[in-house]
Amino acid sequence: MESTDLELARRLIPVLESKTNRILANKFSNTVEIGYATVHGGPYPATSDSRFTSVGATAIERFLRPICYENLPPELLPPALQDSNPLSLWRVRDGELEQR
Mind listing the pLDDT tens digit for each residue in 40-49? 555 555 555 5
What string of DSSP letters covers 12-81? HHHHHHTT-SEEESSS---SPPPSTT-----SSSP---TTS-SSSHHHHTT-SS--EEES--GGGS-GGG
pTM score over 0.85? no
Query: Residue 1 is which amino acid?
Result: M
Instruction: Compute the distance between CA of residue 9 and CA of residue 61 in angstroms, rounded to an integer.
Output: 28
Instruction: Tell me the average pLDDT across 8-29.
Output: 87
pLDDT of residue 37: 60
Residue 29 pLDDT class (50, 70, 90 cuts): confident
Q: Is the pLDDT of residue 6 over 90?
A: yes
Query: Which residue would you say has higher pLDDT here, 33 or 26?
Result: 26
Could you tell me the residue ranges of all domains in the chain?
Answer: 3-98
Q: How far is CA 53 from CA 42, 44, 63, in A?
A: 5, 12, 12
Of the listed ranges 7-11, 24-28, 76-80, 81-85, the least confidently predicted one is 24-28
Radius of gyration of the chain, Cα coordinates, nearest whole angstrom: 17
Residue 18 pLDDT class (50, 70, 90 cuts): confident
Q: In the Cβ-directed half-sphere of 45, how many Cα atoms lie within 13 Å?
A: 0
